[in-house]
Amino acid sequence: MLDEEVKERQQAELDFVTAAYSPEEAWISYQPIIKVHRLLHLPFQEVRDEESTTSSSSISIKLEISMPQYYPVEESCILSIGAFLPSSASGDIFWTKIAIDAIPNLLNKLQSVAVESAGQEAIFVVLSTAEEWIDVEWKEIVSSAQSIGHGGLEGKENEIDHNHLRERKQSGKVVLARKLIYSHHIIAKTKRKAIADLSRDYQLGGYAKIGWPGIIIIEGEESSCDRFIDEIRSMRWQHLVVRGEEIVPIDDDQSLDGFRSFPLKLEELAEDQMSFLAESCRKVGLEALFKTSMKMYGREEGQESDGKNRNKGDASPEEQVYGTMTHVDHMNDSKGYQKWIQKACKSTDCFELIIRCYKNDNTSSPPNIFVSIFGPKSSVKQVMKRWRTSRVDVDSKGTPCLERMMTVVLEGNVIEANDLQEILEDAKGCKVGYNGYLNLKDAQDIFFSIGGSDWREAIIGYCS
């Protein structure tokens, strides 16, 4: 019986790999053990000389993910991951060395994710983490390497205007900075203490919201903010990135403290205080800075355009908030099912909302269960793919099984989600009146606040 379950669960993950990637991107070998091979392309940009245009290129590395015999059923059977340059690799020696030096960092991150996922399907999480590593940490490595040897390339989320920075330092002007730092989570007491100590050392104020996700907003002299960020980046993080900043040059005869908007001392906020953080930013006219935590970029009405106050970049379609509402027929193992949804969303920087309600508030009728996922479109799609190929529930015999009775009701860009996190927190904290189930009116209001009339009409169609 165990062997059959192992084979079935492994095959579901292998089917996902073949469906999600082309044969050139990922493939599977079976001897002597099952291995998933994934070819990753690490992009870089090389500047030939000051007169020429830049040309983009990349170097490839290959992942090998080995499945132990009784993975994923036995918690002791953890994926083994290797990475190396393909034998056919060739190209710039400089970037080849940079890629080789970066491989241990990538492997540590992937192996940590595999260990955290012991006892459940982890192939999707590992592959998603690898792609996230390329988008964030590899871009930082490229930026650092090019500042030394190959010119200037900056990742969108870590973009720094070095020319303006040099001009400000040369002029000797004091510059107030506010920077929003996003982390997958902030839980460890040692990190929390280090963040508090460093903020005090560098005379920075603001907020540090712990839990999932972790949000740090610091405010103070710009060079102090930069040194603070450099120091916390040296710690071990699953994901840490600067998503937004605002810059305010201060005249020589003015005091920097007179321009501060946040507490002079960094205040730690609890896991459930995201709405408090949002409201604190809104009260001082810095809602746009808070929104960068959700990758929501854009100029607020009336915002200055002279560069004194700025947010990073304009949002691409990929950065827009995307959502999907899915109807689930039942959850036999409700606690385990919900835990799986929450963990899958956390690993991809998505947000989940699970709402239960009765048709026409009739408690004698079968209840409806709606699971909604929100985040960048690619991340939401990844969660949905993983959901369809993982054993998220149990059957009537208590055996883990795939979800075969889910229906996507509606999906698309969320049109009424300027304060998505706050809305979701309020929704999760909403009082329930039917043994843990929402009344239909409350459910309609929640979906309307998230997605407008289309989302409200969608749930009405199922529940009335």
Record the pTM: 0.40
Same domain flag for 165 and 309: yes
Whole-Å CA distances, 415 to 322, 400, 448, 449, 450 = 9, 37, 10, 9, 7
d(C-alpha 219, C-alpha 205), whole Å: 5
Tokens coding 374: 């929100």
Sign of the Cα torsion 17, 21, 22, 25 reads negative
Same domain flag for 142 and 172: no
pLDDT in tens, the chain (464 residues): 568 888 888 888 888 788 777 888 899 999 888 999 999 988 875 433 333 333 447 788 899 999 998 898 888 889 999 888 775 555 567 778 888 888 888 988 898 888 888 888 888 888 888 888 888 888 888 877 766 554 333 333 343 344 444 444 444 568 899 999 988 778 888 889 999 999 999 999 999 999 877 899 999 999 899 899 988 887 877 678 888 888 888 877 778 888 999 999 999 999 878 888 988 998 998 988 888 876 665 544 333 333 334 443 344 444 578 899 999 989 988 888 988 998 888 877 788 999 888 888 788 888 889 999 998 888 888 888 888 878 888 888 888 888 888 888 888 888 544 567 767 776 765 545 445 577 788 888 888 878 777 888 888 887 77
Longest dimension (CA), the chain: 78
Same domain flag for 137 and 237: no
Same domain flag for 35 and 163: no
The answer to whether the CB of 268 falls within 8 A of the CB of 228 is no
Same domain flag for 331 and 458: yes
Region of 277 on the Ramachandran plot (φ > 0 left; ψ -120 to 50 alpha; else beta): alpha
Same domain flag for 353 and 405: yes
Same domain flag for 267 and 134: no
Residue 157: which of 101, 231, 250, 233 has the closest Cα?
233
Same domain flag for 261 and 364: no
Residue 147 main-chain phi, psi, to 5 deg = -65, -20
Number of separate helices (H) and strands (E) present in the chain:
14, 15
Supply the range of the domain harboring residue 456.
318-463
Residues pairing with 307 in the sheet: none
- b/e sequence 35-48, b meaning 16+ C-beta within 10 Å: bbebebebebbbee
CATH of the domain at 26: 3.10.110.10
Which of 266, 291, 315 is the endpoint of a domain?
315
Which of 315, 342, 372 is the endpoint of a domain?
315
Whole-Å CA distances, 191 to 209, 231, 265, 357 = 12, 11, 17, 40
Q: How many domains does the chain have?
A: 3
Q: Which residues contact 342 (CB under 8 A, 6 or more apart)?
A: 352
Is it true that the peptide bond before 32 is cis, omega within 30 degrees of 0? yes
Which of 148, 172, 192 is the endpoint of a domain?
148
Residue 125: Cβ within 10 Å count = 23
d(C-alpha 218, C-alpha 324), whole Å: 33
Same domain flag for 458 and 336: yes
Helices 377-389 and 334-346: crossing angle in degrees, nearest 10, is: 140
Confidence (pLDDT) at 172: 54
Same domain flag for 347 and 383: yes
Same domain flag for 353 and 310: no
Same domain flag for 110 and 245: no
CATH of the domain at 172: 3.30.70.100
